[in-house]
Amino acid sequence: MRFKFLIILGLFLSIGNLSLADEKIDYISFFAGTFDVIDKEGDDQTSLFGIEHKNPSLFRDTFLGKFSPVSGGFVTGNSSVYLYTGVEGQYGLGPLKILPSFTPGYYQKGDGKDLGSVLEFKSEIKLGFDIFENSKIGYSYSHISNNNWGDTNPGTDNQQITFSKNF
C-alpha cells in the first residue's frame, strides 16, 4: 500500500513540476496539524503533514474576489492520503489574508479513518499573515466529507499551521 502511495505521490508531484517549469514565481505551502480534531471515539485523531501549490499567473479577479486554482495533498500519521485540486478565494485586510477554499479529491484510508468513499470534498478556511515579503504563516481549519455519496459519511475536521513561500 505504501508503494502505491509513493507512486501516486511521485506522479502527482512530477506532473505539477512540469507545469511549474515555465513559471517565475510559485506559491508553495507546507503544513502540519491534526487530522480528525473532533474525534468523539478517540481512535482516529492523528497528525497530518502536507504540501500545497498555487500558480499566481492563474489568479483571476472577479466581482466575488480574487480566485485561483489550488492543488495539494497530505499524509496522516495512520497512512491515510488525500490528494486534491480545487479553487481558493483570497481576501486581504492589510497583512491579514482570508483564504476560503473548496477542493474535491482522492482519499485513501490506509490504516486510518474510513470516510466512506475515495471521492471526498474538502472545504477550508485559512487565515494567513505576511511575515516577510515572500513568506506567510497561517492557520487553517477544514472539513472533509463525501456529501453522503459514500457507504458512510463520518467526515473529519482538521486543523493545520501553514508556512507559505514564494519561489
The ranges assigned to domains in the chain are: 2-166
Residue 23: per-residue pLDDT? 45
- Please check the confidence at residue 7 and state whether its pLDDT lies above 50: no
Q: Return the SS3 of 56.
A: helix
- Please check the confidence at residue 142 and state whether its pLDDT lies above 50: yes
- Cα 141–Cα 115–Cα 67 angle in degrees, nearest 5: 40
User: What is the average per-residue pLDDT within 106-114?
Assistant: 95
How far apart are alpha carbons 155 and 100 in whole angstroms? 19
Architecture of domain 2-166: Beta Barrel (2.40)
- Please check the confidence at residue 37 and state whether its pLDDT lies above 50: yes
- Please name the residue ranges forming H helices in 50-104: none
Do 141 and 100 contact (CB within 8 A), yes or no? no
Residue 4 φ/ψ, nearest 5 degrees: -60, -45
How far apart are alpha carbons 24 and 3 in whole angstroms? 33
Strand-pairing partners, residue 122, are 103, 144
Residue 88 pLDDT class (50, 70, 90 cuts): very high
Q: Return the SS3 of 58.
A: helix
How far apart are alpha carbons 65 and 67 in whole angstroms? 6
User: What is the average per-residue pLDDT within 44-66?
Assistant: 87
Per-residue model confidence as pLDDT tens digits over 46-56:
999 999 998 87
Helix (H) or strand (E) holding 19: helix 2-20
- Please check the confidence at residue 67 and state whether its pLDDT lies above 60: yes
**Closest C-alpha to 88, from 98, 74, 102:** 102
Residue 17 pLDDT class (50, 70, 90 cuts): very low
How far apart are alpha carbons 14 and 24 in whole angstroms? 17
